[in-house]
Amino acid sequence: MAYGRGAAAVKAIEDVSLSIAKGEFIAVVGPSGCGKSSLMKLISGLHPPLAGLLSVEGKPVTGPLKSVGMAFQNSSLLPWRRAIDNVLLPLEIVEPHRRNFSREKDRYRAKALKLLESVGLAGFADKYPWELSGGMQQRTSICRALIHEPEMLMLDEPFGALDAFTREELWCALRDLQAERRVTVMLVTHDLREAVFLADTVYVMSSRPGRIVRRCGVDIPRPRDLEVVYTQRFQDIVHELRSLIGGRH
């Protein structure tokens, strides 16, 4: 994948081969500018590959995938819509929900309320984004990404702008959501502790043009609570990842 044209083009990623099992939680880490977000755009169908083959569940990717839900560092909630209406937005856009939305609105609304409740936002459904904390906005954003029951959830630095305490709260919320729904998750993050706490597998990318240089299985049993971050095994994995990335800036 490249940005720009002709001789001025900058190659973002090159020769990347990635296999993600259904229901797996993977994280992608690497130095700034290594192409982590570009890889996510390819897999989601937001950007076509210049070369090579790209398939999801055995089917070629030819455009944006309806089977993917996405959340970013900026929650991107629409300020004029209440939390529940922000969560419902994909159902107003993605078929077949779009054609059923008016007729099924009460059912969809109940589903959105249950999703908000599952991330600790019971009672906040009718609040506007500006009435929610940063952590609450991100919880709402993740609910919006999940409302249409995607087969894959893609998260691009979703907790990067939050304080450490809120970030760890959301790690646990995401851990519980993924365990309950068994959705496949791809997380792009700079936070190595976050990657090791949440993921089954961590992929390390090199400096641009980004390549996968290491696949690291996280052999820490689930379910994981926050105390695991103080264990020697957890710290060893984080240290290994940091040494890989530190040597490739």
Domain extents in the chain? 14-50+60-67+151-249, 78-150
Amino acid occupying residue 169: E
H/E stretch holding 36: helix 36-44
Q: pLDDT, tens digit, for every residue of 25-57?
A: 999 998 877 777 777 777 777 777 766 677 776
Q: pLDDT, tens digit, for every residue of 114-152?
A: 999 999 999 999 999 999 999 999 999 999 999 988 888
Percent of the chain with pLDDT over 90: 51
Q: At which residue do the structure tokens 């700079």 appear?
A: 190
Amino acid occupying residue 56: V
**CA-to-CA dists, residue 151 to 66, 183, 236, 246, angstroms:** 9, 6, 32, 33
Is the confidence at residue 5, as pLDDT, over 70? no
What backbone torsions phi and psi does residue 188 show, to the nearest 5 degrees?
-100, 125
- To the nearest whole number, what is the mean pLDDT of the chain? 85
Q: pLDDT, tens digit, for every residue of 159-215?
A: 988 899 999 999 999 999 999 989 999 999 999 999 999 999 999 988 767 788 889
Is the confidence at residue 1, as pLDDT, over 70? no
More confident residue, 61 or 221: 221
Q: 247: pLDDT confidence band, cut at 50, 70 and 90?
A: low
Q: How does 69-88 read in b/e, with b if 16+ C-beta sit within 10 Å?
A: bbbbbebebeeeebbbbbbb
Report the distance separating Cα 41 and Cα 1, nearest Å: 10
Q: For strand 152-156 and strand 68-72, is the pairing parallel, antiparallel, or unpaired?
A: parallel
Q: What is the pLDDT of residue 54?
A: 73
CA dihedral in degrees (184, 93, 103, 67; nearest 10)?
Answer: -20
Report the distance separating Cα 91 and Cα 113, nearest Å: 14
Amino acid occupying residue 149: E
Amino acid occupying residue 123: G
Q: What is the pLDDT of residue 210?
A: 72
212, 39 contact by CB (below 8 A)? no
43, 56 contact by CB (below 8 A)? yes
Neighbours of 54 (CB within 10 A): 15
Q: What is the pLDDT of residue 130?
A: 96
Q: What is the pLDDT of residue 148?
A: 87
pTM of the shown model:
0.85
Classified by CATH at the fold level, domain 14-50+60-67+151-249 comes out as: Rossmann fold (3.40.50)
